[in-house]
Structure 1
Amino acid sequence: MKKYKILLAISLIAIGLMSVLVASINEKKDEQKQINSVPQMEKRWETKNEEFRKYYPRQFDSWKQTKNSDDIHDMLKEYPELVVLWAGYGFSKDYNAPRGHFYAIEDNRNTLRTGAPVDEKTGPMPTACWTCKSPDVPRLMDEQGEEEYFTGKWAKYGSEVINPIGCMDCHNPKTMELQVNRKYLDRALATEGTLKMEDATQQDMRTLVCAQCHVEYYFDKRKTASGKKAAVVTLPWKNGFTVDDMEKYYDEIEFSDWTHKISKTPMLKAQHPGYEMWKTGAHGRNNVSCADCHMPYTQEGGIKYTDHNIGNPLENMSKTCMNCHRVSEKELLANINEKRERKNELHKKAMVQISAAHLEAGKAWEVGATKEEMAPVLKDIRHAQWRWDYAVASHPAFFHAPEETLRVLATAIDKAGQARIKLAKILAKHGAVDYKAPEYKTKEEAQKIIGLPFKKLVEDKERFNKNLVPQWKKEAEKKGLYNPESTKGIEDKTSYN
C-alpha cells in the first residue's frame, strides 16, 4: 500500500510540473502572439516612443538603454586642429562625439551649431537640421508635405520635433513593418540604380532604415512650387557610392557647404557616410546588415526579440561578432584595435597637414597671391579635407571598411602635401619664404586664431535654453506631442558648461 502511495505522489507531482510547464508555454505563446500582432494606436503617427511600451515592452526597455550612453566627449578639445579645419563653419564652435539615440533632441538643441534663435524665423540653421533626429520628422513630412517641411528656419519646428529617434523612424505606422520614412533615400537609390526600394528584401531593409540618416548628404537650396526657399536633404549618389564618385559629383555641380574663413577654399563637410563605407567592406559585400550587429536578436525566456539598445557591437560580442567569427573574442578584439590605431595614426597626420595648408593659404592671400595662383591650391585643399572628413565622419569606418578608410586617408595626406608644396612656391614668390603657421595646443587657442567669439556664443545659447526651449516644450505638451515624464531627470550635458 505504501508503494502505491509513493507512486501516486510522484505521479501527482509530475502532473503538477507538467501543468506548470504547459501554462508557461501557453503564456509565452500568448505573449509572442501579442508581440507579433499590430497595435491599434490612437494616432496614425504616434511619435511618443513610450506609447509603444504596452505592446513592445522588451523592445522599448532596450531602446531606453541608449540613455546610458550619456558621456560628452568634446572632439574639439581632443583635436584642436578641427577648429582650424572648420573655420567659418558651425563645427568649429562645438563638436562632440555622438551619444545614444535617446539624446538626439537634447544634443541638437544644446549644440552651439544650432545657434540661439529668439523666434521661429531666426537662427543660422534650416529646418533640415532636424531631419535625422526624431520620428516627428516623417510625421511632419506626411502632414505638411516634404517640400514644405524643408522650408524655413530650424526654430520653426521647435515645438513640433520633440521626441528622440524611435519607433516611427523605421516602422510603418500601420503595419509596424520596416519602412523607409524619408523619401530622399528612395530617390537617391533610384538615381544610383544598383538597388531600388521596391526590390529591397527584408535583410536589405534591416540596413536601409539606418541609411535614412547614416549617410552622406547635402542641403540642395531651391525654391518650392509656392515660391518659398527650401534646403532639401539630398544624397550625392548620381555617380556612385565612393568618396571619389561623390567628390566628382560635388565638383560638377560646383557645390560647397561654406567658404573657409582663412584659406578662402570652397569647402565640403562630410556628414556621416556609414552606409556608403559599409558597402565597401566585408560586411557590406556579404550583406551583413546594420541590425545584425547593432541590434542583435535576444532570447528572454521563450521570447525572441530584437535588441533596440543600438550601440557598439563590441560591448556584446557573444551576441554579435561571435555568431559568425570563429576566433576568440580576445583575438578578434585585438585585430579590431589594431585597425583603429592605424586609422588614428593617419587621421592625425592628415589633420596636421590640412590645417597647416589652410593657414599657409591664408598667409599667401595676405601677401598678394592671385586667384589664378591659388586656384590649384584650393582644389587640393578642398579634396584633401573632403577625403579626410569622409573617412573619419563615418565613425566606425575603420571597422566597416578598414582598407578603404586607410586608402582615403592616404590620398587626403597626399593632396594636402601637394597643396603645401604649391604654397611654398607661392609664398617664396611673394617674399614670405620664412613664414611658419602659428602654433596652438588647445581648443581655446585655435578658436582665438580663427577669431571665434566663443564666450558670446555660449551666453546666447544659455539665454535660448532659458527662454525659448521651455516655451517649445509647453506648446508640444499642449499639442499632445510630448510627455514631460519621458525626459524627466535628464541632465543637460554640454561641452561648454
Structure 2
Amino acid sequence: MKKYKILLAISLIAIGLMSALVASINEKKEEQKQINSVPQMDNRWETKSEEFRTHYPRQFDSWRKTKNSDEIHDMLKEYPELVVLWAGYGFAKDYNAPRGHFYAIEDNRNTLRTGGPVDEKTGPMPTACWTCKSPDVPRIMAEQGDDEYYSGKWSKYGSDIINPIGCVDCHNPKTMELQVNRKYLDDALKAAGITDLANASQQDMRTMVCAQCHVEYYFAKKTTSAGKKAAVVTLPWANGTSVEAMEKYYDDLEFSDWTHKISKTPMLKAQHPGYEMWKTGAHGKNNVSCADCHMPYTQEGGIKYTDHNIGNPLENMSKTCMNCHRVSEKSLLANIAEKKARKDELHTKAMKQISAAHLEAGKAWELGATKEEMAPALKDIRHAQWRWDYAVASHPAFFHAPEETLRVLGTALEKAGDARIKLAKILAKYGASDYKAPANYSKEDAQKIIGLPFNKLIEEKKQFNDGLLQEWKKEAEKKGIYNPESTKDVEHKTSYN
C-alpha cells in the first residue's frame, strides 16, 4: 500500500511539473505570437523610441544599451596631424570617435563643428548636418518636403530634431517592416546600377537600412523651386562605388568640400563609406548583412528577438562570429588584431606624409610659388588625402575589407610621396631645399600652426548650450516630440571641457 502511495505522489508531482511546463510553453508561444504580430502605433511618425517599449520591450531595452557606449575619445589628441590635414574645415575644431546611437543628437549639438548659433539663421553648418542623426529627419522630410528640409541653417530645426537614432529610422511603425526613409540612397543605388530598394530582399534590407547613413556623401548645392539655397545630401555613385570612381566623380564636377587653409588645395572630406567598403570584402561578397553581425538574434527564455544594442560584434562573439567561423575566439581575435595593426601602420604613415605635404606646400606659397607650378602637387595632395580619409573614415574597414583598406592606403602613400617630390623641387627652386615641415607636435601646437581660435569656439559653444539649446528642449517638449525623462540622466561629455 505504501508503495502505491509513493508512486501516486510521484505521479502527481510529475503531472504538476508537466502542467507547469505546458503552461510555460503556451505562455511563451502566446508572447512570441504577440511579438510577431504588429501593433498599430497611433502616430505614423512616432519618433520617440520609448513609445515602442510597450509593444517591443526587449528590442527597446537592448537599443537603450547603446547608451553604455558613452566614453569620449578625442581623436585630435591621439593624432594631432589630423588638425593640419583638416585646416580650414570643421573637423580640425573637434573630432571624437563615434559613440552609441543613443548619443547621436547629443554629440551633434555638442561638437564644436556645429558652432554656437544664437538663432535659427546663424551658425556655420547647413540643415543637412542633421540628416543621419534622428528619426525626426524623415518625419520633417515627409511633412515639409526634401527641398524645405535641406534649405537653411542647422539651427533652423533645433527644436524639431530632438530624438536620437531610433525605431522609425529603420522601421515602418504601421507594419514594422524594414524601410529606408531617406530617398537619396535609392537614387544612388539606381545611378550605380545596384538593385534598387523596390527589388531588395529582406536580407538586402538588413544592410540597406544601415546604408542610408553609413555611406560616403556630399552636399550638392541647389536652388529650390521656392528660390531658397539648399545643401542636398547626395551620394557620388554615378561612376560606381570604388574610391577611384568617386574620386573621378568629384574631379569631373570640380567639387571640393573646402580649400585647405595652408596648402590652398581644393579638398575632399570622406564621410563614412562603410557600405562601399563592406561590398568589397568577404562579408559583403557573401551577403552577410550588417544586422547579422551588429544586431544578432538572441534568446531570452523561449523568446527569440533581434538585439538592438548596435555595437562591436567582437563583444558578443558567441552570437556573431562563431555562428559561421569554425575557429576559436582566441584565434579569430588574434587574426583581427593583426589586420588592425597593418591598417594602423599604413594609416599613420600616410597621415604623416600628407600633413607634411600640406606644410611644405604652405612654405612654397609663402616663398612665391605660382598656381601653375603648384597645381600638379596640389592634385596629388587632394587625391592622397581623399584616399587616406576614405580608408579610415569607414571606421571598421580593416575588418570589413582588409585587402581593400590596405590597397587604398597604399595608393594614398604613393600619391603623398609624389606630391612631396614635386614640392621638394619647387622649394629648391625658391632657395628652401633645407626646409623641414614641423613634426611630432601636440593637438594644441597643431591648432596654433593652423591659427585655430580654439578658446573662442569653446566660449561660443558654452553660450549656445546655456541659452538657445535650453530653449530648443522646452519648445520640443511643448510640441510633444520630446520626453525629457529619456535623457535626464545623460552626463554632458565633450573633449574640450
Q: CA deviation at 1:194?
A: 2.2
1:414 corresponds in structure 2 to 414
2:110 aligned with 1:110, yes or no?
Answer: yes
1:262 corresponds in structure 2 to 262
Query: What is the CA–CA distance in structure 2 between the aligned matches of 1:110 and 1:34, rounded to whole Å?
Result: 40
Give the residue type in structure 2 aligned to 1:54: T
2:180 aligned with 1:200, yes or no?
Answer: no
Q: CA deviation at 1:452?
A: 0.1
Query: What is the CA–CA distance in structure 1 between the aligned matches of 2:258 and 2:269, rounded to whole Å?
Result: 8
1:444 corresponds in structure 2 to 444
CA contact (8 A) 2:134 2:162 kept: yes
Q: CA deviation at 1:3?
A: 2.6
2:257 aligned with 1:284, yes or no?
Answer: no
2:387 aligned with 1:387, yes or no?
Answer: yes
Per-residue CA deviations over 1:214-260 (Å, capped at 9, x if unaligned) read 00000001011111111000000001111011001000111100000
CA contact (8 A) 1:243 1:387 kept: yes
Q: CA deviation at 1:5?
A: 2.0
Q: CA deviation at 1:382?
A: 0.2
SS at match of 2:446: helix
SS at match of 1:389: helix
Give the residue type in structure 2 aligned to 1:311: G
Per-residue CA deviations over 1:353-372 (Å, capped at 9, x if unaligned) read 00000000011111111111
Q: CA deviation at 1:89?
A: 0.1
Query: What is the CA–CA distance in structure 1 between the aligned matches of 2:15 and 2:436, rounded to whole Å?
Result: 88
SS at match of 2:467: helix
Give the residue type in structure 1 aligned to 2:339: K
Q: CA deviation at 1:199?
A: 1.1
After superposition, residues 42-441 of structure 1 pair within 5 angstroms as 42-441=42-441
Query: What is the CA–CA distance in structure 1 between the aligned matches of 2:437 and 2:329, rounded to whole Å?
Result: 45
Q: Which stretch has the larger CA shift, 274-283 or 366-375?
A: 366-375
Per-residue CA deviations over 1:102-125 (Å, capped at 9, x if unaligned) read 000000000000000000110000
Q: CA deviation at 1:134?
A: 0.5
Q: CA deviation at 1:36?
A: 1.2
Give the residue type in structure 2 aligned to 1:413: L
1:459 corresponds in structure 2 to 459
Q: CA deviation at 1:19?
A: 1.3
Query: What is the CA–CA distance in structure 1 between the aligned matches of 2:393 and 2:60, rounded to whole Å?
Result: 29
Q: Which stretch has the larger CA shift, 432-441 or 487-496?
A: 432-441
CA contact (8 A) 1:117 1:123 kept: yes
Per-residue CA deviations over 1:18-49 (Å, capped at 9, x if unaligned) read 11111111111111111111122121111001
Query: What is the CA–CA distance in structure 2 between the aligned matches of 1:220 and 1:420, rounded to whole Å?
Result: 31
SS at match of 1:233: strand
Query: What is the CA–CA distance in structure 1 between the aligned matches of 2:489 and 2:240, rounded to whole Å?
Result: 45
In the alignment, structure 1 segments of 5+ residues that lack a partner are none
Q: Which stretch has the larger CA shift, 264-273 or 423-432?
A: 423-432
Query: What is the CA–CA distance in structure 2 between the aligned matches of 1:263 and 1:430, rounded to whole Å?
Result: 16
CA contact (8 A) 2:40 2:173 kept: no
Query: What is the CA–CA distance in structure 2 between the aligned matches of 1:40 and 1:495, rounded to whole Å?
Result: 42
Query: What is the CA–CA distance in structure 2 between the aligned matches of 1:474 and 1:41, rounded to whole Å?
Result: 25
SS at match of 1:16: helix
Query: What is the CA–CA distance in structure 2 between the aligned matches of 1:39 and 1:370, rounded to whole Å?
Result: 67
Query: What is the CA–CA distance in structure 2 between the aligned matches of 1:291 and 1:19, rounded to whole Å?
Result: 38
SS at match of 1:439: coil
Query: What is the CA–CA distance in structure 2 between the aligned matches of 1:330 and 1:98, rounded to whole Å?
Result: 26
Query: What is the CA–CA distance in structure 2 between the aligned matches of 1:440 and 1:260, rounded to whole Å?
Result: 21
1:3 corresponds in structure 2 to 3
Give the residue type in structure 2 aligned to 1:279: K
SS at match of 1:299: strand
Give the residue type in structure 1 aligned to 2:147: E
CA contact (8 A) 1:278 1:397 kept: yes
Query: What is the CA–CA distance in structure 2 between the aligned matches of 1:332 and 1:6, rounded to whole Å?
Result: 55
Give the residue type in structure 2 aligned to 1:328: S
CA contact (8 A) 1:440 1:446 kept: no
2:478 corresponds in structure 1 to 478
Per-residue CA deviations over 1:305-335 (Å, capped at 9, x if unaligned) read 0000000000111110000001110001000
Q: CA deviation at 1:440?
A: 4.5
Give the residue type in structure 1 aligned to 2:474: K
Q: CA deviation at 1:11?
A: 1.9
Aligned length: 497
Query: What is the CA–CA distance in structure 1 between the aligned matches of 2:441 and 2:124, rounded to whole Å?
Result: 29
Query: What is the CA–CA distance in structure 2 between the aligned matches of 1:196 and 1:44, rounded to whole Å?
Result: 24
Query: What is the CA–CA distance in structure 2 between the aligned matches of 1:331 and 1:496, rounded to whole Å?
Result: 39
Give the residue type in structure 1 aligned to 2:462: E
Per-residue CA deviations over 1:265-310 (Å, capped at 9, x if unaligned) read 0000000000000000000000000000000000111000000000
Per-residue CA deviations over 1:51-101 (Å, capped at 9, x if unaligned) read 111111000000010000000000000000000000000000000000000
Give the residue type in structure 1 aligned to 2:157: Y
SS at match of 1:155: helix
Give the residue type in structure 2 aligned to 1:334: A
Query: What is the CA–CA distance in structure 1 between the aligned matches of 2:34 and 2:443, rounded to whole Å?
Result: 53
Give the residue type in structure 2 aligned to 1:77: K
Q: CA deviation at 1:263?
A: 0.3
> TM-score, normalization: structure 1?
0.99
Poorly superposed stretches of 4+, deviation over 6 Å = none
Query: What is the CA–CA distance in structure 1 between the aligned matches of 2:437 and 2:181, rounded to whole Å?
Result: 47
In the alignment, structure 2 segments of 5+ residues that lack a partner are none
CA contact (8 A) 1:140 1:149 kept: yes
Query: What is the CA–CA distance in structure 1 between the aligned matches of 2:4 and 2:142, rounded to whole Å?
Result: 72
> TM-score, normalization: structure 2?
0.99
Query: What is the CA–CA distance in structure 2 between the aligned matches of 1:120 and 1:440, rounded to whole Å?
Result: 41
Query: What is the CA–CA distance in structure 2 between the aligned matches of 1:27 and 1:253, rounded to whole Å?
Result: 61
Query: What is the CA–CA distance in structure 1 between the aligned matches of 2:14 and 2:448, rounded to whole Å?
Result: 79
Identical residues among aligned pairs (%): 84
SS at match of 2:62: helix
Per-residue CA deviations over 1:166-197 (Å, capped at 9, x if unaligned) read 00000012111000011100100011012111
2:490 corresponds in structure 1 to 490
CA contact (8 A) 2:262 2:362 kept: yes
Q: CA deviation at 1:147?
A: 1.5
